[in-house]
């Protein structure tokens, strides 16, 4: 049966191909998808061809993947085939849709088996970096029936919200965040306040912030090696914190998806630069488990993310790109050239706050100034 993408899926695919990835005539592209993302993947293939690109579409069959897991072949899944490695070396553009789609089974699979099945990840990045690959990982794959049911969402509406967030223009996103980017580049302290009781001051690490507007950065040394693949939809500025300055508390008003778990109602309290207490309406047990096992630096602030995407308003799994929102991450910040090497990393998000950098307002009531 042919797969017919919706108009919104086609519009999002066209925007990603032309404005995010800027596919050129004659370029070679790989589109990798799963069963549940086939319509948007088909639209992506069509749009790449429309601009003159050549495509190889790889589909991972969901049922076959899980049958291999059931046969205890997770190590086999973790080793991509020789033809796929060869194709990667000849590829200019790569588009990936997250999977598998049966997230109920993901939560039940032993962690070791899942890690083995994804062991291809690190060597894939090493080869892709050598070839100068640019591309994107499209988060539409996270909008599954299982997660929607678990989190009480309408999956169709959730998917449409993600697709609408893919319609932004990276050029406009960069312009929108220009003043905030400049303030973060020069500033020393950030104060976050909100009518929900949030009042937190943290210190910037003096490291250049990173703009994620949806443009991949395959050879830009200002970005991490993994940023050759843009996270799509995009729209945020990340900046490392000094891991020493933190006074006050922050109360989340957005639910947050972290490493396959769902948190809500999070409160973090700090004194003397350290986390002194935490609580969550949902997800506290898993947070506590990970925090207990984390190494030194887990009790320190790691980074801030400021959202720039006006289309991503309270969209699950896009909390950190909602325009005017702020996301505070705890623990590791090496990926942002910070000094925190902890194995622990977790975050909470707040929308509609007041934010000042060195006492100069940059966000008011969740609006960029």
* Mean pLDDT (whole number) for 271-297: 93
Do 195 and 317 belong together in one domain?
Answer: yes
Pair 203, 189: CB distance under 8 Å: yes
Residues 243 and 310 in one domain: yes
- Residues 297, 340 contacting (CB under 8 angstroms): yes
Domain match, 97 and 238 both = no
Asked if residue 140 is part of any domain, the answer here is yes
Q: Which domain holds residue 87?
A: 7-167
For residues 183-190, average pLDDT? 97
- Can you give the pLDDT at residue 104? 87
Show which of 167, 183, 205 is a domain's final residue. Answer: 167
Burial of 95 (0-12, 13-18, 19+ CB in 10 A): buried
Confidence of residue 135 (pLDDT cuts 50, 70, 90): very high
Best CA proximity match to 38, nearest among 167, 185, 147, 138: 138
Asked if 116 and 181 sit in the same domain, the reply is no
Q: Could you tell me if 253 and 138 lie in one domain?
A: no
Q: Are residues 22 and 85 in the same domain?
A: yes
* pLDDT for residue 261: 64
Percent of the chain whose predicted confidence (pLDDT) is above 70? 98
Share of the chain above pLDDT 90, in %: 80
Say if residue 201 is in the same domain as residue 94. Answer: no
Pick the closest to residue 168 from 69, 298, 310, 293 (CA basis). Answer: 310
Q: For residue 141, what pLDDT is reported?
A: 92
- Whether 221 is in a domain gets the answer no
Query: What's the CA gap between 318 and 161, in Å, rounded?
Result: 10
* One-character DSSP codes across 160-228: HHHHHHTT--HHHHHHHTHHHHHHHHH-SEEEEE-TTS-EEEEEE-S---EEESS---SS-TTS-GGGG
Q: In degrees, to the nearest 5, what angle opens at C-alpha 228 toward C-alphas 5 and 234? A: 55
DSSP-derived secondary structure letter, 309: B
Same domain, 116 and 236: no
Closest CA to 33 of 8, 72, 71, 5: 5
Torsion of CA 125, 129, 130, 135, to 10 degrees: 100
Q: According to the 3-state scheme, what is the secondary structure of 5-38?
A: CCHHHHHHHHHHHHHHCCCCCCCEEEEEEEHHHH
158 and 240 assigned to the same domain: no
Number of domains in the chain: 2
**Predicted confidence band of residue 12 (pLDDT cuts 50, 70, 90):** very high
- The mean pLDDT of 173-201, rounded to a whole number, is 97
In a domain, 267, yes or no: yes
Q: Over the stretch 212-233, which tens digit does the pLDDT of each residue have?
A: 999 998 878 788 878 889 999 9
Q: Tell me whether residue 348 is in a domain.
A: yes
Q: Are residues 190 and 333 in the same domain?
A: yes
User: What are 361's strand-pairing partners?
Assistant: 356
**369: three-class secondary structure by DSSP:** coil
Closest CA to 355 of 187, 234, 240, 207: 187
Mean pLDDT of 167-173: 96
Last residue of a domain, one of 144, 167, 190: 167
* Domain finish residue from 113, 132, 167: 167
pLDDT over 90 (residue 204): yes
pLDDT tens digits, 105-126: 988 889 899 899 999 988 888 8
62 and 128 part of one domain: yes
Assess whether pLDDT exceeds 90 at residue 297: yes
Question: In the numeric block, which tokens belong to residue 309?
Answer: 């995407």
223 domain residue, yes or no: no
Task: Identify the CATH number of the domain in which residue 129 sits.
Answer: 3.40.1830.10
Residue 102, SS3? coil
Judge whether 263 and 256 are in contact, CB under 8 Å.
yes
Distance of CA 148 to the CA centre of its chain: 18
d(CA 239, CA 226): 16
User: Mean pLDDT in the chain?
Assistant: 93
In a domain, 226, yes or no: no
Q: Per-residue pLDDT tens for 95-107?
A: 999 899 998 898 8
Give SS3 for 323: coil
SS3 83: helix
Spatial contact of 189 and 318, defined as CB atoms under 8 Å apart: no
Whether 1 has a pLDDT exceeding 50, the answer reads no
**What's this model's pTM, rounded to 2 decimal places?**
0.93
Does a structural domain hold residue 260? yes
Tokens linked to 132: 């100068």
Residue 219 lies in a domain: no
Q: Please report the pLDDT score of residue 122 as a whole number.
A: 87
Same domain, 160 and 181: no
Give the lowest-confidence range in 61-65, 117-121, 161-165, 192-196.
117-121
- pLDDT at residue 341 is higher than 70: yes
SS3 content of the chain, % helix, strand, coil (to 5): 35, 30, 35
């Amino acid at each position: 049966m042919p797969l017919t993408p919706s108009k919104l899926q086609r519009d999002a695919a066209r925007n990603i191909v032309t404005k995010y990835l800027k596919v050129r005539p004659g370029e070679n592209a790989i589109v990798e998808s799963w069963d549940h993302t086939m319509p948007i993947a088909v639209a992506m293939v069509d749009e790449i061809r429309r601009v003159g690109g050549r495509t190889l579409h790889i589909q991972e069959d969901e049922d076959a993947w899980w049958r291999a897991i059931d046969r205890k072949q997770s190590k086999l899944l973790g080793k991509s085939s020789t033809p796929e490695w060869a194709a990667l070396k000849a590829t200019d553009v790569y588009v990936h849709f997250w999977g598998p789609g049966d997230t109920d089974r993901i939560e039940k699979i032993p962690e070791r088996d899942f890690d083995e099945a994804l062991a291809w990840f690190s060597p894939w990045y090493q080869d892709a970096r050598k070839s100068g690959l640019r591309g994107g990982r499209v988060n539409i794959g996270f909008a599954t029936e299982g997660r929607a049911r678990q989190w009480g969402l309408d999956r169709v509406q959730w998917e449409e919200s993600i697709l609408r967030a893919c319609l932004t223009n990276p050029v406009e996103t960069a312009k929108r965040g220009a003043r905030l980017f400049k303030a973060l580049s020069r500033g020393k302290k950030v104060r976050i306040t909100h009518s929900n009781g949030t009042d937190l001051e943290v210190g910037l690490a003096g490291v250049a912030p990173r703009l994620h507007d949806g443009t991949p950065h395959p050879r830009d040394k200002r970005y991490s090696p993994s940023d050759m693949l843009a996270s799509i939809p995009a729209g945020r500025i990340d900046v490392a914190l000094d891991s020493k300055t933190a006074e006050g508390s922050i109360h989340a008003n957005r639910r947050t998806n972290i490493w396959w778990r769902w948190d809500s109602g999070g409160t973090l309290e700090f004194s003397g630069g350290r986390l002194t207490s935490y609580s969550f309406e949902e997800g506290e047990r898993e947070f506590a488990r990970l925090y207990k096992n984390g190494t030194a630096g887990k009790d320190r602030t790691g980074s801030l993310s400021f959202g720039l995407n006006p289309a991503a308003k309270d969209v699950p799994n896009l909390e950190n790109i909602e325009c005017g929102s702020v996301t505070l991450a705890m623990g590791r910040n090496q990926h942002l050239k910070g000094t925190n090497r902890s194995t622990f990393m977790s975050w909470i998000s707040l929308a509609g706050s007041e934010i000042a950098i060195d006492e100069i307002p940059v966000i008011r009531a969740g609006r960029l100034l």
